[in-house]
Structure 1
Amino acid sequence: MLTALLMSSLGACVPTPVDGGGADLEGQPVRLTFLHTSDVHSRLYEYEFTPSFTDTELGLQEGLGPYGGLAEMAYILKRERAKAGRVLHLDSGDCFQGAVVFNQFSGEAEFRTMSAAGLDAAVVANHEFDAGAANLATQGATWARFDLLAANYDFADSELPYANELEDLVLPTGMYELDGLRVGVIGMGNISSLNSIYDQSNSMGIRVIEPGQAIPDEAVMLRAEGADLIVVLSHLGLDEDIENAKLYKDIDIILGGHNHIALDPPLVVVNEETGKRIPIVHSGAFAKFVGRLDVVVQDGEVLSTDYQLFPIDGTVPEDPEVAEILLEYKEQLDYDLKLDQVIGYAETELTRYGTTGGDSMLGNLTAEAMRFYPGVETEIALTNTLGIRSDIPAGDITLDTLYNSMPFDNTVTTMFLSGREVQELLDYATERSTERGCESQIQVAGIKFTMNCEAAVAEDIVINGTPLSPEGTYELATNNYIAHGGSGFEVLERNTTQIDTGISIRDVVKQSISAARTLPQKGICEEDGRIATVY
């Protein structure tokens, strides 16, 4: 399916309808600019954090905060668009979920500001469904002035009431004519995360189409419509982007996301059939960077590429149009939630990942808070590491900081597990962690064990000082996402003793921080080796 893009008021060559005509470019080298963003995760407002070594190497320097922000991102996007001739701004998805603005406004602010920034098209990724498919349909139809693309999501066979809206709203491809040059864009959403949605018994009526079918089929149709260039706008992740570049001959460029990484320079992969060199661009996450890829194309062949990665720090001005929109939401957030209220103090940065790949400061804080919370009070607790989305900087801990670190509205679920089920649970977590560089994908309380990433099994399991008994019974506190099978936790999904307490995990952690006042303290919010790693 093809689409004509809404016209932008920005001062550069903008996409026109596919039947709009254009210059005869046969035999001519043509310059084209792609502006690329990805995984904004609701970081619409500036925020403080300590740039990692990789961030610093990519140009995001310590001491130049605050970082990110959609108004600042829009300033760079509009500046670079004004410098270019033929230009497309493409986003690799997951602009939803990651800060309080999403919890309160369900994606309205994200779509409004991305539209005002001049976005041309975005792939629909897994977190766009976090408030439900019906919400995506509503927000997209109401606020998105850009194309939403996903060739591997098919809503046509669903009988759910919003399916027709999504089928019309989410297009498999877009064709964009830029002064005679036709660019076909194929959207590819994340499949593995959709499988997690199915695992939660929360099917949204989406039929998933594998890349091996979607990419070649859509590329053939785009070529038949006269596409000079085929771009895959992907949220599949870098490994799948590399595989697709090797396998599918019609791909010319891949603009990717999902892994929250920035590649400078872009990775270049040689197609196994044609020998064509295909650039793969990933431009970071959390509104920390904007990528600009300049290509020279002649008769459908990419002759050369040049890439720049622009860091977004405190030196970048705001775009007035986007800043005005954001002010509306900030005033409402401040009125409703008082986000600047201080709930505690961090003497040092509180980290979500451990230094050895095992337990972490924030992971231990969260798991302990869950199991000891009044009305929960279980023997053990377990939560997924990725439910904690960012470190907490040193200094005052505000409610806004907590929302940025723990944006998901997950609740505490309790259940009883046999000892064998505890073993199965920890084996699965170890296997999953092994696939991710032996970085623990869970955080625990009341449990101590060794994550053997060589054998992909959990060993030496101790429950509250006593070795695990296969015949024993243990009460667990976890979050409702993995309790329903999210991220493949089937051993929890099939448990019939589940009780969703309705208690917000973020509120549990807030109370724990407020009670402690200052973190870390001995035994609170510190690494203690409860998850050891062997690899």
Structure 2
Amino acid sequence: MGMSRREFVQVLAAASAAGLSLGSNLTRAQSAANLYDLPKFGNVHFMHFTDCHAQLKPIYFREPSVNLGFGGQLGKAPHLVGDALLKHYGIKPGSREAHAFSYLDFDKAAAQYGKVGGFAHLATLVKQVRASRPGALLLDGGDTWQGSGTALWTKGQDMVDACLALGVDVMTAHWEMTLGEARVKEIVEKDFDGKVNFVAQNIKTTDFEDPVFDAYTMREMNGVKVAIIGQAFPYTPIANPRYLVENWSFGIEEENMQKTVDHARSNGAKAVVVLSHNGMDVDLKMASRVRGIDAILGGHTHDGVPVPVKVSNPGGVTLVTNAGSNSKFLGVLDLDVKDGKVSDFRYRLLPVFADLLPADAQMNALIDKIRAPYETKLAEKLAVAEGTLYRRGNFNGSFDQLIVDGLIKMKGAEIAFSPGFRWGTSLLPGQAITMEHLLDQTAITYPYTTLTPMSGEMIKTVLEDVADNLFNPDPYYQQGGDMVRVGGMQYSIDPTASAGNRISDMRLGDKPIEASKTYKVAGWAPVSEAARDAGGEPIWDVIATYLRDIKTVSAKAPSLPLIKGAANNPGIGS
């Protein structure tokens, strides 16, 4: 049974933290009423979350202070941070929304507004939205079964059970694939078994190019036929180990997307949405080239974008969104379909504030049950953070800095590389770093650490390759992730330069790195089978040992490259 808005506000008021003054209770209830008051609109309704990275409990999450765009992407969503972002969307500085969408005053705002996300709080919001929107579908954009210790240890079962309880209707994927083909198929066929449609128009078998999953699902909502097309992460076998999905091919598959849209339309779809894990820049390009998509509900790049971007194409206009990460947001898209087509829409990206949304009792009980066997292991205190620890951003985050520092020390290396992963929760100054926090940054199925002799020339090649993935002017060649995190050395980067010419002035201390000289480079998460077979110890064991030894992680700014050509760029914070 759904709650009325009045009942919802009463529940919120009652659920405010005990011990607060009546004024505080009322203020919170009023904040919740204002933030989550979503008048019903139209006759087709979608809820969308993405990139939760297996975070079942509320967390802190610092939005990026560096999200650079150049050329046609300069000054446009999602390449806006801090003050530029608030100004662009008319968000009041210092407000709850400012904390949700920007990194500004992160420590102070996090202490004031509390944690975000958590499936029990998300479940309350989902139920509330469903109550006012009959037939509303809940779409999961992927990166759901990876990102925590429990997801790793249960091979994603914790998240599968939580998503079934949440009422997910349709899903696509990326990091799910790192559990391997057999496990993905097992979940889709046995656990989902028709309850959740797992869709991906761009995954085919490598031998005969047969579709591996349904390209789309057709649903009828309030008398309107709607199609939801799946777009899995196109570069999965490049960004992650090929051997985990050796029988499947991926790719953008733009032509096939057009055919799929046309097929859905010819079968009676009056509204077509794409559930995408492309990343926002790729979605924006696809929207400009494929006809007949009403909206792209996007993920992968973890961008919290409060207003859809309207993209013109030969068939009309496509709305492009991106719904953040870590179960921190729920997007709600309402379409008004009249005379066989979408005539109007409303969209809200709702931040999930754990202090404003009471925990759903059933989901809370499930989460407690899931975590019970692992709580002691997860709760081990490894060290204390004197400063904020975070990851998200184009270059080194402070948690990445901790990891590369630990690799250099524990591996006896001169330089360390850590992948430009976007997932990973944040910690406030003075918080204990637990094993759970460390696993939030490192829990993957190929966690092997490496120590490799590399020439200066090879080091430059590695950095150039990753820079091209991130800053290629053509979004279709941007293969996901942020810049590789670097420890021990300094360098300059010009994102606007041509491929192979972006990296310069590489130094180790006060000495230039020489092309012909060999250096000891530590790393982790290698994608090759050879590195897997060599079997270096898991990254979490290496860094846990390092943290137990140092006991305190001092507050310091992460080492960033010198960025050229980015003066006055609204994608970099002051």
- TM-score, with normalisation over the residues of structure 1? 0.81
Q: What is the DSSP-based 3-state SS (H/G/I as helix, E as strand, rest coil) of the residue aligned with 1:364?
A: helix
Residue aligning to 1:527: 558
> 2:122 maps to which residue?
73
Question: Is 1:151–2:151 an aligned residue pair?
Answer: no
Q: Contact 2:143–2:174 (CA<8 Å) still a contact in 1?
A: yes
Q: Which residue of 2 aligns with 1:258?
A: 300
Q: Distance in 2 between matches of 1:11 and 1:140?
A: 32
* Alignment correspondent of 1:481: 526
Residue 112, structure 1, aligned to residue 154, structure 2? no
Structure-1 separation of matches of 2:370 and 2:227: 35
Q: Which has the higher contact order (CA 8 A, sep 6+)?
A: 2
Change in Cα spacing, 1:498 to 1:283, as seen in structure 2 (3 Å) is: closer
1:62-117 deviations in Å (ceiling 9; x for gaps) = 32322211111111111111111342222222112112121111111111111111
Query: 2:365 matched to 1:328?
Result: no
Letter matched to residue 367 of structure 1? V
Query: SS of 1:215's equivalent?
Result: helix
* Aligned partner (choices 395, 418, 425) of residue 383 of structure 1: 418
Measured in 2, the distance between the counterparts of 1:334 and 1:71 equals 18
Q: Does 1:399 align with 2:430?
A: no
Of 206, 210, 224, which residue of structure 1 is paired with 2:248?
206
Equivalent residue, structure 2, for 1:192? 235
| C-alpha distance in structure 2 between counterparts of 1:195 and 1:501, whole Å | 20
Q: Distance in 2 between matches of 1:210 and 1:429?
A: 19
Partner residue of 2:177 out of 94, 114, 129 = 129
Greater helix percent: which structure? 2
C-alpha displacement of 1:422: 2.5
2-structure distance, mates of 1:116, 1:251? 30
C-alpha change, 1:423 and 1:38, in structure 2 (3 Å) is: closer
Separation (CA, whole Å) in 2 of partners of 1:528 and 1:240: 29
Question: SS in structure 2 opposite 1:481?
Answer: coil
Question: 1:71–1:322: 8 Å Cα contact kept in structure 2?
Answer: yes
Output one character per residue of 1:242-301: Cα deviation in whole Å (capped at 9) or x when no partner.
Answer: 222222222122211111112222111122x23x23222322211001111111101221
CA distance in 1, matches of 2:395, 2:296: 34
Larger deviation, residues 70-79 vs 380-389 = 380-389
Question: Is 2:405 the partner of 1:368?
Answer: yes
Q: Distance in 1 between matches of 2:548 and 2:293?
A: 53
Separation in 1 of the partners of 2:335 and 2:444?
39
Query: 1:177 maps to what in 2?
Result: 220
Identity of aligned residues (%): 23
1:442 is aligned to 2:484? yes
Conservation of the 8 A alpha-carbon contact between 1:150 and 1:189: yes
Contact 1:414 1:501 (C-alpha < 8 Å) held by counterparts: no
What does residue range 258-277 of structure 1 map to in structure 2 within 5 Å? 258-271=300-313, 273-274=314-315, 276-277=316-317
Q: How many angstroms does 1:428 deviate by?
A: 2.8
Change (3 A) 1:247 1:411: same
Question: Which residue of structure 2 lines up, in the alignment, with residue 412 of structure 1?
Answer: 449
The residue that corresponds to 2:379 in the other structure is 340
| Shift in Å, 1:149 | 0.3
Cα deviations by residue, 1:409-455 (Å, 9 ceiling, x for unpaired): 51211222233222322333444454499x97122333232234343
Distance, in Å, in 2 between the alignment partners of 1:520 and 1:433 is 30
Change (3 A) 1:497 1:232: closer
The Cα of 1:508 is off from its aligned counterpart by 1.6
RMSD value over aligned CA atoms?
A: 3.1
- Measured after TM superposition, the shift of residue 32 of structure 1 is 1.5
**Structure 1 stretch 499-508 or stretch 113-122: which is displaced more?**
499-508
Q: Is the 8 A contact 1:346 1:519 kept in 2?
A: yes
Distance, in Å, in 2 between the alignment partners of 1:139 and 1:178 is: 27
1:45 to 2:82 alignment:
no
Instruction: Give 1:217-228 correspondences, 5 Å limit.
Output: 217-228=259-270
Contact kept, 8 Å, 1:237 with 1:259, in 2: the verdict is: yes
Which 10-residue stretch deviates more, 442-451 or 320-329? Answer: 442-451
Q: Using the TM superposition, give the Cα deviation of residue 215 of structure 1 relative to its aligned residue in structure 2, in angstroms.
A: 1.6
Structure number with the higher strand fraction is 1
1:513 corresponds to which letter in structure 2?
L
Q: How many residues align?
A: 478
- Kindly indicate whether the alpha-carbon contact (under 8 Å) linking 1:31 and 1:86 is maintained by their aligned counterparts in 2: no
Shift of 1:533: 2.7
Contact 2:48/2:330, CA 8 A, preserved across alignment: yes
2:543 is equivalent to residue 509 of structure 1: yes
| Inter-partner Cα distance in structure 2 for 1:447 and 1:246 | 41
Change (3 A) 1:223 1:361: closer
Corresponding position of 1:6: none
Give 5+ residue unaligned stretches, structure 2: 5-40, 65-81, 87-95, 101-108, 566-574
Q: Tell me which residue corresponds to 1:424.
A: 461
Deviation by residue 1:367-416 (Cα, 9 ceiling, x = unmatched): 2321321xx32333222232773333222222222222333351211222
Q: In 2, are the aligned partners of 1:392 and 1:402 still within 8 Å (CA)?
A: no
Aligned partner of residue 292 in structure 1, secondary structure: strand
> Is the CA contact 2:42–2:334 (under 8 Å) kept in the aligned structure 1?
no
Q: Which amino acid aligns with 2:336?
A: V
Q: Distance in 2 between matches of 1:316 and 1:499?
A: 47
